Structure 1
């Protein structure tokens, strides 16, 4: 089993799955459709082209540094200025870092990793105004998707880790396996990005948590607060 790992980090990210009209929201983590779109852009595929082999990829993401929700106000008007300006609400994740993983055939994954190093189209984190900070690809590894999301070192920024406790619980959101009880279903399985008939379908996802050790907490002498410690005999 092979898995391509991605580091998705930047000042701003926005991963919408149900944005409509004047309110453009974001999910708390990268969406499968957003990451598939990023990989397609790296290969130079246009929106009207079929997604073909990318549709068979399995996807998962770990919330290493969840970030904070940021709301922005924007106005839009017609080119001639005759139409009144409309106030739109756009939501972003600021200072977030995610470990994303896609699993599939090794040849396909190695090709995607090469494309991420030399992308044909500009890459962005869910929205064009959200460029990534640094390289995205962490390479292809011989491991299961679930195992990679569990075992890969914590990717949070150093300043974030210095403020955190010694043990951190991270959330993992991944595709549910066939026959596996799903936590929920989300409208996030891409079929086509063609603007004329964009299509998504539902996918079953599983949410779980993994504990990671924060070595920087030891160096910074971070002490975890135990409210019951004073009651001990």
Structure 2
């Protein structure tokens, strides 16, 4: 199996798993349906196309920079009548950074990597109003599991965020798709079955949360022992 790693960073992100109608919330981390939709768009798939091969990919995400929840009010009017539409709320994550990964057969993973480099439809971070601030694709890793890759991938938080933590190691949260053999897990309704706008469908999937320890590249280096009298002793 192979793993494709991606960095999801931007001024705003929005990953809704249960958002409907006039209140559009966001999860605290990217959803599988959102990332699979982004990959499908990069491939040039239409909303009515079969998603079976992409939906079968195992998905995981690491929270490198949690971000700040923000809320926006939006108004709209009908063009023909000028009649006001209901006031709507949109929730976003500001200044968040995530490392996402999908695991599957090597040929498909390589094809997705190429598609992210030259996407048919431009990618966005959950909603069209949320463009990425960095290149999304990172690398393809062969013969490594998704779990191991999320432990090995370098910390992708912004440099100012890394400098805030003076510890040499940081603890980050991972949210990884359960393989069905684990015990108690959480569930999310973000397993995509169809993106057809006439009948969007999502199933439940199990996820497990676990911490990982990652080196902090911005941690202060230890100061070597210094003896101010060494020069006087001829050392």
TM-score by length of structure 2 reads: 0.90
The 3-state SS of whatever aligns with 2:83 is: coil
Kept in 1: contact 2:154–2:215 (CA 8 A)? no
Worse-matched range after superposition: 83-92 or 41-50? 83-92
Deviation at 1:181, TM superposition (A): 1.8
Cα distance in structure 2, aligned partners of 1:134 and 1:85? 35
Kept in 1: contact 2:103–2:145 (CA 8 A)? yes
Q: Tell me the residue number matched to 1:22.
A: 22
Deviation at 1:151, TM superposition (A): 1.1
Kept in 1: contact 2:52–2:193 (CA 8 A)? no
| Aligned pairs for 1:45-84 within 5 A | 45-84=45-84
Aligned-pair Cα RMSD in Å: 1.4
Kept in 2: contact 1:168–1:212 (CA 8 A)? yes
Deviation at 1:177, TM superposition (A): 1.4
Q: Tell me the residue number matched to 2:115.
A: 115
Kept in 2: contact 1:60–1:175 (CA 8 A)? yes
TM-score by length of structure 1 reads: 0.91
Indicate which of 197, 200, 205 corresponds to 1:198. Answer: 200
Q: 1:158 to 1:118 in 2, by over 3 A?
A: same
**Which 5+ residue runs of structure 1 have no aligned equivalent?**
222-233
Worse-matched range after superposition: 180-189 or 147-156? 180-189
Q: Tell me the residue number matched to 2:177.
A: 175
**Which 5+ residue runs of structure 2 have no aligned equivalent?**
224-235
